[in-house]
Amino acid sequence: MAAKQLSVFIENRKGRLGEVLEVLKKNGISILSLSLADTTEYGLLRLIVNDPELCKKALSREGFSTMLSEVLVVRITHISGSLQELLTLLSEQDIGVEYMYGLSVEGSDASVVIKTSDLARSEALFAQNGVTFLSAQDLARM
């Protein structure tokens, strides 16, 4: 139940992030979650959007370098310790987390976007333990 994340390469230049958002706006794309990481020279904007393919095409046309990759968007209950339990599942199987960020959903649940060192195994592992996912289709409807 992997979902698609779009990464956008951004040089550290004033207004550059705004230009990305401008393209999204022009194309009616809505952002469900984002994470922005940077070094002194450039940043990577990771986006979960309702239509990642369209978003990639639109950004490429405007001269951005992008990459689509697969991540897991996992639903967790909004109580203390639930995320820790999730990560314990992974660490017990020696699967590392490369990065992670939150994504808000309706209702009392929460969700996180996770990129692990082994997506297929993590997915199977979560499924066995009754963890539910938000699929690409779920996200497209949000």
Candidates 23, 10, 34, 32; CA nearest to 57 is 23
CA distances 115 to 43, 89, 105, Å, are 18, 14, 19
Contact between 63 and other proteins by CB under 8 A: the answer reads yes
Candidates 41, 45, 61; CA nearest to 53 is 61
Contact between 101 and other proteins by CB under 8 A: the answer reads no
CB nearer to other proteins: pick between 9 and 82: 9
Interface mask toward other proteins for 111-140; x: CB under 8 A: ----x-------------------------
Residues in contact with other proteins by the rule CB under 8 A: 5, 7-11, 37, 39, 41-42, 44, 46, 61, 63-67, 69, 98-99, 115
